[in-house]
C-alpha cells in the first residue's frame, strides 16, 4: 500500500480517522459541553470548532467571591464566639474578707504590757478586723506592739499600732517618712497628723499613758478620725 494511503487524514468535524475507518483521538481538545438548563445564559459562550458551534460555560473569576465568602465566614465565626462568651461569662465574685477576732490578742497585750491598752469601741459591722497581734515588730526596736487592722466601710485599710518603744523610733518607722501637717482634736484629745508616707498611708499620733498610739492606713482622714475616736482604754483583764 502506498505510504500516502497509510497516512492519517482528518474529517470535517475534527476527528482523526485511518483508512481502515477506525477513529483515533483528536489532536485538538474538544470543548466541554454543558446543559443549558444548569448554567445561566450570561454564563455561556459560543465556541466554533470544526465548522460547528457549541455552547460552553465561561470560566468564572473567583477572586471577589472568595474574599466575600471569607469575610462572611469570619463574621459568622466572630458572632458565634461573641454569643458563647455572652452565655458563659460570669462576673468575678468579690474577694471575701477574712474577719478575725481581735479580742484574744488584746487580752494578751493587757496581761503583758505596762501601759493601758486601747481598743476600739462602738464601730459598726462595716469595720471588719482582718489582723490582730501583740508581738515585736520591726518598727518597735525590740519592744512588742499591740496591733489591730481593719477593712473600713469604704474598703480601705486602717490600723492601730501601740507600743512603749522609743517614741522617736516608733513614730518615724511607722509613719514611713510622712511629715507632720498639723494637729487635730478627736474626742477632746489632740492628735498629731502626718501626711502620706512612702507607703501612701496617712497617720494620727498621740502619746497615751507611757505609750504611743498611732492610727494609720490608706483610709481617708474621715475614717482615720472615726477609728481614733473609737479608741478607749480596755478594762483590766480578770484573772
Same-domain status, 119 and 220: yes
Number of domains the chain is built from: 2
The domain boundary, picked from 23, 40, 57, lies at 57
Q: Are 213 and 205 in contact (CB under 8 A)?
A: yes
Band (176; pLDDT cuts 50, 70, 90): very high
Band (134; pLDDT cuts 50, 70, 90): very high
For residue 215, list its beta bridge partners.
160, 204
Same-domain status, 21 and 119: no
In a domain, 131, yes or no: yes
In a domain, 146, yes or no: yes
Same-domain status, 51 and 138: no
Please give the residue that has the higher pLDDT: either 82 or 8.
82
Residue 120: its pLDDT value, please?
96
Please give the residue that has the higher pLDDT: either 116 or 4.
116
Where residue 160 sits, what CATH number does that domain have? Answer: 3.30.200.100
Residues in the chain, how many?
Answer: 239
* pLDDT, tens digit (0-9, with 9 covering 90-100), for 85-125: 665 655 555 567 899 999 999 999 999 998 999 999 999 99
Residue 81: its pLDDT value, please?
80
Residue 74: its pLDDT value, please?
82
Residue 239: its pLDDT value, please?
57
Same-domain status, 52 and 110: no
In a domain, 63, yes or no: no
Same-domain status, 111 and 198: yes
Same-domain status, 108 and 225: yes
Query: C-alpha grid cell for residue 140?
Result: 518597735
The domain boundary, picked from 24, 42, 57, lies at 57
Residue 115: phi, psi to the nearest 5? Answer: -140, 160
Mean model confidence pLDDT for the chain: 79
In a domain, 38, yes or no: yes
Q: Which of 45, 44, 47 is nearest to 14 (CA)?
A: 47
Same-domain status, 107 and 47: no
Residue 137: its pLDDT value, please?
85
In a domain, 113, yes or no: yes
Same-domain status, 119 and 185: yes
Same-domain status, 15 and 126: no
In a domain, 125, yes or no: yes
In a domain, 133, yes or no: yes
Band (161; pLDDT cuts 50, 70, 90): very high
Q: How many CA atoms lie within 13 A of 105 on its CB side?
A: 21
Range of the domain at 27: 3-57
In a domain, 132, yes or no: yes
Where b means 16+ CB within 10 Å and e means fewer, 186-211 reads: beeeebbbbebbeeebbbbbbebeeb
Same-domain status, 116 and 29: no
Same-domain status, 40 and 129: no
Same-domain status, 130 and 37: no
* pLDDT, tens digit (0-9, with 9 covering 90-100), for 38-78: 545 555 556 565 666 655 555 555 555 677 777 788 888 77
Amino acid at each position: 500500500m502506498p505510504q500516502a494511503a497509510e497516512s492519517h487524514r482528518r474529517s470535517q468535524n475534527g476527528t482523526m480517522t485511518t483508512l481502515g475507518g477506525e477513529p483515533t483521538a483528536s489532536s485538538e481538545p474538544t470543548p466541554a459541553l454543558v446543559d443549558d438548563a444548569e448554567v445561566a445564559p450570561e454564563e455561556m459562550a459560543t465556541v466554533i470548532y470544526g465548522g460547528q458551534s457549541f455552547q460552553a460555560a465561561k470560566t468564572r473569576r473567583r477572586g471577589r467571591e472568595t474574599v466575600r465568602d471569607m469575610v462572611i465566614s469570619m463574621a459568622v465565626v466572630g458572632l458565634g464566639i461573641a454569643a458563647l462568651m455572652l452565655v458563659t461569662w460570669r462576673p468575678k465574685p468579690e474577694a471575701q474578707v477574712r474577719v478575725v477576732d481581735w479580742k484574744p490578742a488584746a487580752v494578751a497585750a493587757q496581761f503583758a504590757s505596762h501601759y493601758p491598752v486601747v481598743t476600739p469601741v462602738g464601730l459598726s459591722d462595716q469595720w471588719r478586723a482582718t489582723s490582730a497581734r501583740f508581738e515585736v515588730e520591726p518598727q518597735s526596736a525590740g519592744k512588742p506592739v499591740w496591733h489591730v487592722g481593719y477593712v473600713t466601710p469604704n474598703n480601705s485599710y486602717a490600723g492601730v499600732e501601740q507600743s512603749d518603744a522609743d517614741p522617736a523610733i516608733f513614730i518615724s518607722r511607722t509613719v514611713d517618712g510622712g511629715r507632720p501637717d498639723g494637729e487635730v482634736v478627736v474626742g477632746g484629745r489632740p492628735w498629731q497628723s502626718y501626711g502620706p508616707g512612702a507607703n501612701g498611708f496617712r497617720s494620727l499620733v498621740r502619746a497615751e499613758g507611757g505609750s504611743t498610739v498611732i492610727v494609720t492606713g490608706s483610709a481617708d482622714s474621715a475614717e482615720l478620725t472615726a477609728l481614733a475616736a473609737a479608741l478607749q482604754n480596755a478594762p483590766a483583764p480578770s484573772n
